[in-house]
Amino acid sequence: MLILSVESSCDETAVAVVENGRKILADEIFSQVALHEIYGGVVPEIAARSHLEVITYLADRALDKAGISRREIDAVACTYAPGLIGAVLVGVNFAKSAALALGVPLIPVHHIRGHIAANYLAFPELEPPFLCLAISGGNTMLVDVRDYTDMAVLGRTRDDAAGECFDKSARVLGLGYPGGKPIDELSKQGDDRAYDLPRPAVHGDNPYDMSFSGLKTAVVNIAHHAEQTGEALDKAGLAASLCRAVSESLVGRTMDAAKALGQTQIAVAGGVAANSRIRADFEAACAKAGKKLFVPPLRLCGDNAAMIGAQGYYELLAGHTAGSDLNAYATKAL
């Protein structure tokens, strides 16, 4: 089964062709980083207009790269939530038009489900049930993947996502946007105990909920204090200390949840899964606990359409299709 899939939830426009939810035939991506870099973050209106400009071209290029014709497409999948509403609408409307024109099913896919499904593309042997930590610029949640379309959120951030913490910290350190990669690279040059950063406590009954706003504020305050007093700021040490703090918050909760649920398989997904400290800490923790770890290659950690096609395949098998009244949503439960 060949699925044409579309992703436009933020600042990457992507169109892919995926076969049977596991094989990538084409995955075309246009990054808007250069458009938003001067603003220090994504400008929603610019993002939406850019999606409009390139999405048709990317679809044609994906079909050419896959070596198939439009008539061979069996279904069209798209991200319909969550994301920047204007950006998501572009992908949804393109997908609706394509499905109608081709006379094939339209499959709505939740963005986070797509990130989780990136692991199916990287690891053909992976099947539910497993535990997955989904970490990105806008979302951080711990998900019990019971089946391909049966998932339960065990815990989530109460405020900022882990990726947002990295982005805002990178900005105050003068590392530019997006901040995840430069923070990661700089951290490799520093001492991860240079600064005593907080591990924000989360009050309530759920031990798997997280918080990163206090950690972000601590980094900002340290940088501002150094600037105002003329003290030397160890940027590499601060980046390393930040990566350690974020990783310990994520890895610890994930391993606790895996133990409580008796899960032997742990997956990590999303853009922040590209962070080298987080990947290394998960490898060490899973090796110690005897758990099998699945982390996608870097190219499948960020936003892409192949992951939407992978999850779309399983949504289609479950009968989860939509009509021409499908809408886009800025926020939506998993």
Tell me, letter by letter, the H, E, C secondary structure of 217-250. HHHHHHHHHHHHHCCCCCHHHHHHHHHHHHHHHH
Residue 135: alpha-carbon gap to chain centroid: 6
Q: Give domain status of residue 120, yes or no.
A: no
| CATH classification at residue 135 | 3.30.420.40
Q: Give domain status of residue 332, yes or no.
A: no
Q: How far apart are CA 31 and CA 11, in angstroms?
A: 6
pLDDT tens, the chain, 334 aa long: 999 999 999 999 999 999 999 999 999 999 998 899 888 889 999 999 999 999 999 999 999 999 999 999 999 999 999 999 999 999 999 999 999 999 999 999 999 999 999 999 999 999 999 999 999 888 999 999 999 999 999 999 999 999 999 999 999 999 988 889 999 999 999 999 999 999 877 888 899 999 999 999 999 999 999 999 999 999 999 999 999 999 999 999 999 999 999 999 999 999 999 999 999 999 999 999 999 999 999 999 999 999 999 999 999 999 999 999 999 999 999 9
Q: Give domain status of residue 326, yes or no.
A: no
Q: Give domain status of residue 186, yes or no.
A: yes
CB atoms within 10 A of CB 167: 23
Q: What range defines the domain where residue 227 resides?
A: 126-300
**According to the model, what pLDDT value does residue 237 have?**
98
Q: Which residue has the tokens 């030397």?
A: 232
- 65: nearest Cα among 298, 270, 296, 306: 306
Beta pairing class for 2-7 and 12-19? antiparallel
**According to the model, what pLDDT value does residue 39 have?**
87
Greatest Cα-to-Cα distance within the chain, rounded to the nearest angstrom: 66
Strand partners, 75: 3
67 class by beta-carbon count within 10 Å (0-12 exposed, 13-18 middle, 19+ buried): exposed
Are 180 and 294 within one domain?
A: yes
* Token duo for residue 102: 């081709």
Are 10 and 79 within one domain?
A: yes
Interacting residues of 167 by C-beta distance below 8 A, sequence separation 6+: 41, 137, 177, 178, 179, 180
**According to the model, what pLDDT value does residue 244 have?**
97
Q: How far apart are CA 181 and CA 272, in angstroms?
A: 9
Helix (H) or strand (E) holding 99: helix 85-102
Phi, psi for residue 154 in degrees, rounded to 5: -85, -35
Are 211 and 271 within one domain?
A: yes
- 149: nearest Cα among 273, 316, 306: 316
**Stated pTM of the model:** 0.95
Are 141 and 213 within one domain?
A: yes
Q: Give domain status of residue 121, yes or no.
A: no
Q: Is the peptide bond before 82 cis (omega within 30 degrees of 0)?
A: yes
Are 29 and 152 within one domain?
A: no
- 173: nearest Cα among 40, 77, 300: 40
Q: Give domain status of residue 334, yes or no.
A: no
**According to the model, what pLDDT value does residue 34 have?**
87
The beta strand positions in the chain, using DSSP E, are 2-7, 12-19, 23-31, 75-81, 106-110, 130-135, 140-145, 151-156, 265-269, 292-294
**Number of independent structural domains in the chain:** 2
Are 110 and 163 within one domain?
A: no
Q: Give domain status of residue 189, yes or no.
A: yes
Are 296 and 313 within one domain?
A: no
Are 233 and 194 within one domain?
A: yes
Tally of residues, the chain: 334
